[in-house]
Chain A
Amino acid sequence: MAPKKNAAQPAPSAAATSQSSTTAAGSVPAPVGAAPVSTPVSAPAAKSAPANWDKVLQNIYSYYMNETPQRTKLIDVFLVFIAVVGALQFLYCILAGNYPFNAFLSGFGATVGQFVLTISLRIQTAAANKSDFPEVSPERAFADYVVCSLILHFFCVNFIN
């Protein structure tokens, strides 16, 4: 799910490195364990088969550009935004300390939660997954999304202290 969002931003060639790092940070939003995960992906990739990788990423990029409907791309932009916000919070936590830990947790939790909820929405509205969700129409998916987000933010606000 993550590739779309990174692919959406930079030029194809530059996407190579930035993609994998953002991906991991976004897709493995575990509070503490996440940081180490992010770098490795790009590192061994570059080592093992640089030429091959270039191709792989190019394929993904073109697939994304051609196959994704405009609406979904809009969701992806939001995903990128959330990922960036989450990464910023995490960076702050590492650099400046986690003093109001409640606040950090609820802020970070809100981004992670919103991220996975948005991805869920994206999955449920994608035409390719129609067979997986016979009972979930796009409208229903959006309603679910709104309800879940409300619950999520209620908890976050309550936890912020």
Chain B
Amino acid sequence: MAAKTQGPAVGYTTESTRTLLRVVILCFIAAAAISSRLFSVIRFESIIHEFDPWFNFRATKYLVANGFHKFWDWFDDRTWHPLGRVTGGTLYPGLMVTSGAIYHALRTLTIPVDIRNICVLLAPACSGLTAFATYLLTNEMTTSPSAGLLAAVFMGIAPGYISRSVAGSYDNEAIAIFLLVFTFYLWIKALKLGSMLWGALCALFYGYMVASWGGYAFITCLLPVHALVLIAMGRYSTRLYVSYTTWYALGTLASMQIPFVGFLPIKTSEHMPALGIFGFIQLIGFIQYVRSAISGRQFQTFLVTILVATFGLGLLGLVALTSLGYVAPWSGRFYSLWDTGYAKIHIPIIASVSEHQPTAWPSFFFDLNFLIWLFPAGVYLCFQDLKDEHVFVVVYALFGSYFAGVMVRLMLTLTPVVCVAAAMAASQILDTYLSWKSATPVEEQEAPKKVKGGLRGSDKPNVGIYSNLTKVMVSGSMLVYLLMFVSHCTWVTSNAYSSPSVVLASRMPDGSQHIIDDYREAYQWLRQNTKEDAKVMSWWDYGYQIGGMADRPTLVDNNTWNNTHIATVGKAMSSREEVSYPIMRQHEVDYVLVVFGALLGYSGDDINKFLWMVRIAEGIWPDEVKERDFFTPQGEYRVDEGATETMKNSLMYKMSYYNYASLFPAGQAADRVRGVRIPDQGPVLNTLEEAFTSENWIIRIYKVKDLDNIGRDHANAAAFERGQKKKKPTKKRGARVLRVD
């Protein structure tokens, strides 16, 4: 709606009225951005979403409870069970410190707010700031008064950004995108003015960004590339020198303050472009100075020798240092950015994460709607009068699009530039075609702009549009697109991005909403019925949730820093009980948790993720776990009667389908996710016993049995026990298990 309001805004003459209107509109935009992110709170409740946010929430609670210094030195012995994690030194503290600061600020103002609500609402609050930062950034790019406001609207409600910032998704990206856009704004400002102060501000916000999100490397690479492109285009200026060197010198030192980053800025290849350009720009600056001192002929000899020598030696030095191991080569995640197949072959743990998959084409349209086709037009407009800041948009657009195409989650870094470029295109159209509506002074103001904005190739001045019909049609269709965009965004936000994924919603036959709350039911059960230090083994996806909601130690969690440890869990899950049991004993596992969606048709369950566990385990123990064994000879992944022996004997399969058939009448047991019939004779568990199964069977928890107190192995003991209850069938089964042993 704010998009429509800006039209009249142009009509007012006095500067102050315009400023007031602009402020009001920006406030409305911020309000729209915030309120569209509240769907999840209204539909469900004020709850932390998904996986990573649970860790951030837990860390924030620790910070609030124990103070900053303890947080900084936090060693967490309740994760990665035997190992523990130096949490304070291995996280990006920006997010937690921000919400901690807000919490304490509100406390001093005597506003008692629960820390959970601050965490839930931090992302929407930041989205309002992001919209404002986008407004500032766009205003640096164009003289059109409406472009900035349009960009702010787009940024405020674009699903590509909403996907990571709905209320409750308390993740690093929540504040990082604001910092990203604002850092870019400060950079453009510093570059335009050539001011040290703006450069220092840029560095400070860059430091804040480094403290908040690993994606800071995007800035670290983009700014040097921008500087390099400017130099290559012959646009070197002393302003560039001042802003770049100030940013680099201060920003690098600022980034090194974060323990997790530490020495990385001078040791890893990701940071080398920035360092290289820093050196290069010194050289250019020096050469420029000399140029003003001596004559052209002499200067050429000087230039050639100096350039060739420096470049050759610099490159040689870098190669030598990298091969000698002083500079770390590119890390795995970065290789997977260049070669999308890399991760799949070398690092299954990276490839297994769904947000690291390459982006599918429709998701560009889904996340950006009509912005995606206005985007190239906006980039084209940047070429019209190509100044330093427009080069930035072009460079950013190129890199952003490439990276967004490689990894789904990097759609997030593309969204700001798409909004900026699309707003420039849209405002160009609106400014040209809407002039009939406004009073005379506007035409006055718009006339010089059109002349300036004319294509360099065409000599004819741009006179504007004569026919009113054309104006009505074009601006009308633009309006329709804008409205469709708003409705699309609202629809996407409410349907796709507002699910907490901790709580599931379904529709009853009569259309009413039914909440499926198995996760919290199970975690609550763990919290209330197990010992304080009972270790829970589960696949790493649920580690943070168990830590956050059930407050129990876990073996692995979403931090995934130790591939071997994850592979150990994968091996325990994918091996036979006789192999898994010693592993679980060694890790002091008390409970095993699996997610099982067959009853409800919940497709994100462990059986569907099972192949990743197998692959990751196979990466460490290729002799003991083989992916091929889980496929039938025809190459199918089956869970019904046709499943392979390895599959049927794996701990994961047994835990998932244990007793499942007893829910159904004979011969009717069905798996609704994979759509197959399950054999009536379910798997037998000897070393585990069922402890808890949630209402809809989504979460099943098993207790690891202790050693038998008269020294039998578990298979024997279990067979004996079954023999007491039933006679015939179990005896056979017991014997079979024995033979396997």
Interface membership of B145, Cβ < 8 A: no
Residues of A with C-beta under 8 A to B241: 119-120, 123
Contact A63/B250 with A27-B286, A132-B237 known, Cβ cut-off 8 Å: no
Whether B298 lies near A59 (C-beta < 8 A) is yes
Task: Annotate A1-37 by CB proximity to B: 1 below 8 A, 0 otherwise.
Answer: 1111000000000000000000110011111111111
The chain B residue with its CB closest to the CB of A124 is B242
Whether B250 lies near A1 (C-beta < 8 A) is no
Residues of A with C-beta under 8 A to B292: 63, 128
Q: List 18 A-B contacts (CB under 8 A).
A: A1-B285, A3-B286, A28-B310, A33-B314, A35-B317, A45-B305, A52-B298, A59-B295, A59-B298, A60-B294, A105-B263, A109-B256, A116-B282, A119-B285, A120-B196, A133-B238, A136-B193, A152-B253
**B448 smallest CB distance to A (angstroms):** 21
CA distance A136 to B321 in the complex (A): 41
- The interface residues of chain B, by DSSP majority, are classed as helix
Interface membership of B513, Cβ < 8 A: no
Residues of B with C-beta under 8 A to A80: none
Whether A28 lies near B283 (C-beta < 8 A) is yes
Contact A124/B250 with A32-B327, A56-B294 known, Cβ cut-off 8 Å: no
CA distance A136 to B286 in the complex (A): 22
Whether B257 lies near A159 (C-beta < 8 A) is yes
Interface membership of B734, Cβ < 8 A: no
**B297 smallest CB distance to A (angstroms):** 9
Contact A135/B195 with A113-B250, A116-B245 known, Cβ cut-off 8 Å: yes
**B505 smallest CB distance to A (angstroms):** 48
CB-CB contacts below 8 Å: A135-156 with B: 135-136, 140-141, 143-145, 147-148, 151-152, 155-156
Interface membership of B318, Cβ < 8 A: yes
CA distance A147 to B250 in the complex (A): 12
Task: Annotate B239-254 by CB proximity to A: 1 below 8 A, 0 otherwise.
Answer: 1011001101110111
Interface membership of A70, Cβ < 8 A: no
Whether B293 lies near A155 (C-beta < 8 A) is no
Residues of chain A touching chain B, judged by Cβ–Cβ distance below 8 Å, are 1-4, 23-24, 27-37, 39-41, 43-45, 48-49, 52-53, 55-56, 59-60, 63-64, 67, 101, 105-106, 109, 112-113, 116-117, 119-121, 123-124, 128-129, 132-133, 135-136, 140-141, 143-145, 147-148, 151-152, 155-156, 158-159
Interface membership of B199, Cβ < 8 A: yes
**B58 smallest CB distance to A (angstroms):** 27
**B323 smallest CB distance to A (angstroms):** 13
CB-CB contacts below 8 Å: B240-289 with A: 241-242, 245-246, 248-250, 252-254, 256-257, 263, 266, 275-276, 278-279, 282-283, 285-286, 289
Count B interface residues, CB 8 Å.
57
CA distance A59 to B291 in the complex (A): 11
Of A29, A35, A39, A128, the residue contacting B282 (CB under 8 A) is: A29
Contact A105/B266 with A2-B286, A113-B250 known, Cβ cut-off 8 Å: yes
Contact A37/B279 with A49-B301, A59-B298 known, Cβ cut-off 8 Å: yes
Contact A40/B249 with A33-B318, A117-B196, A120-B241 known, Cβ cut-off 8 Å: no
Whether B193 lies near A133 (C-beta < 8 A) is yes
Of B239, B257, B275, B313, the residue contacting A37 (CB under 8 A) is: B313
Contact A132/B310 with A23-B286, A112-B249, A156-B253 known, Cβ cut-off 8 Å: no
CA distance A45 to B285 in the complex (A): 19
Whether B194 lies near A132 (C-beta < 8 A) is yes
Contact A152/B250 with A28-B310, A29-B282, A119-B245 known, Cβ cut-off 8 Å: yes
Of B242, B266, B275, B283, the residue contacting A123 (CB under 8 A) is: B242
**A152 smallest CB distance to B (angstroms):** 6
Q: A31-B266, A105-B266 are in contact. List 15 more A-B contacts (CB 8 A).
A: A4-B289, A32-B327, A33-B318, A37-B310, A41-B310, A63-B294, A101-B263, A106-B253, A116-B246, A117-B246, A117-B249, A136-B193, A140-B195, A144-B195, A156-B253
